[in-house]
Amino acid sequence: MIILLAMLGLMISCQTPAVDGNATSRAKNVILLIGDGMALPQITLGMYHLDRMISLERFAVVGLHKSHAYDDLITDSAAGATAFSCGVKTYNGAIGVGPDTVAVKTILEMCEDRGMPTGLVATSTIVHATPASFAAHVKSRRDYEDIALDMSDSEVDIMIGGGKKYFDRREDEKDLLSDMQENGYMVSHFADKDLGELSFDVDQNVMYLTADSDPLPVAQGRDYLPQASDVALSYLAEKSGDKGFFLMIEGSQIDWGGHANNQDYVLSEFTEYEKVIGNMLNWAEQDGETLVVVTADHETGGLTINPGSRRDSLVTAFTTGKHTAMMVPVFAHGPGADAFAGIYENTAIFDKLKSVLGF
């Protein structure tokens, strides 16, 4: 009888479509990599341009998500990231709030509640829509100072990104950086120390600001993302002990290249981000207990690769300066990765992460 029930259970689980589901295996750590505006056209462009096997080709599990917002087929990065962080479809511009503007708990906050250390790394300001949606709850993405206030009051263990001015030169004249220092953060910034010169122990939280406002594009000399990602990863790995960690790393400016309809901008940002993806995957493969998920919030630019293209001379065209509604690929590796196969809503990424982490 027991054997029969076990077999029945097996049959039922085999019939469950992967898209409903939720992971059966647990991961200790999650690294979520969001290439803003990095959908299939940008990945394809980068792959042919680089003319080698790219890190994304190493992922065995690939799925697609439907990126649309609550009331708009075309999402922005705020609604897109809130779908991942909170599991709700919301309006464009919403940061960690639902369509009714009420705050929704984020996956990062759930991890914090459980005592897992967390990290956010971006090549935009740290208060920009994508990182903000994991640690702030604000009606509008434009309210950068309100977002900074939320983030300074969050319990994110390590934050690396631009936007110093939103913390220390504010209309309300608060100095959030000294408040954070009082609350146990090691605070530093681009004008104080290079990232490589930072010394801290894991008892402290870390806030490192890479620029006063937006960090530069790679093509104009920004180069911190690979190092920042490694710093955040080793800090979290050491700090987490048995508890595991949650790390979100954004390649923010792939999107900005798309908005500018600038192929070289897209390529240089993609090339740097692709390297970071490879580094994180290398670490996760060694670790064996880490789920790595790579996706984008949306496609940007309506980019395509036209007839007449060769690898060394790609004939591209952009169809818009905005985002598009194209489905977006999701790449997964590690325990629980199988749940990311199939076609699903962007909000399902939240559900799957929650399930993999055992919430």
Which range in 75-83, 153-161, 299-307, 322-330 contacts Mg ion by CB under 5 A? 75-83
42, 82, 130, 205: residue in contact with Mg ion (rule CB under 5 A): 130
CB-nearer residue toward Mg ion: 130 or 347: 130
Q: Shortest Cβ contact with Mg ion: which residue?
A: 130
Q: Shortest Cβ contact with Zn ion: which residue?
A: 255
Picked from Mg ion, Zn ion, none, the partner binding residue 130 (CB below 5 to 8 A depending on kind) is: Mg ion
Q: Which two tokens stand for residue 322?
A: 């905005």
77 binds Mg ion (CB under 5 A): yes
Query: Scanning residues 225 to 254, which ones bind Mg ion (CB under 5 A)?
Result: 252
Task: Tell me how far, at minimum, the Cβ of 166 lies from Mg ion, in Å.
Answer: 15
77, 124, 229, 355: the active-site residue = 77
**3-state class of 307 per DSSP?**
coil
C-alpha closest to that of 68 among 327, 307, 318, 321: 327
- Report d(CA 244, CA 241) in Å as an integer: 7
77 is an active site residue: yes
Cα–Cα distances (Å) from 141 to 60, 222, 256, in that order, read 35, 24, 16
255 binds Zn ion (CB under 5 A): yes
User: Do residues 64 and 54 lie in contact, with contact meaning Cβ atoms separated by under 8 Å?
Assistant: no
Which range in 145-153, 244-252, 253-261, 271-279 contacts Zn ion by CB under 5 A? 253-261
**3-state class of 64 per DSSP?**
strand
Cα–Cα distances (Å) from 110 to 105, 229, 275, 287, 357, in that order, read 7, 22, 29, 23, 10
How many chain residues touch Mg ion (CB under 5 A)? 4
User: Do residues 167 and 189 lie in contact, with contact meaning Cβ atoms separated by under 8 Å?
Assistant: no
CB-nearer residue toward Zn ion: 145 or 255: 255
Q: Where do contacts with Mg ion occur on this chain (CB under 5 A)? A: 36, 77, 130, 252
Catalytic residue set: 77
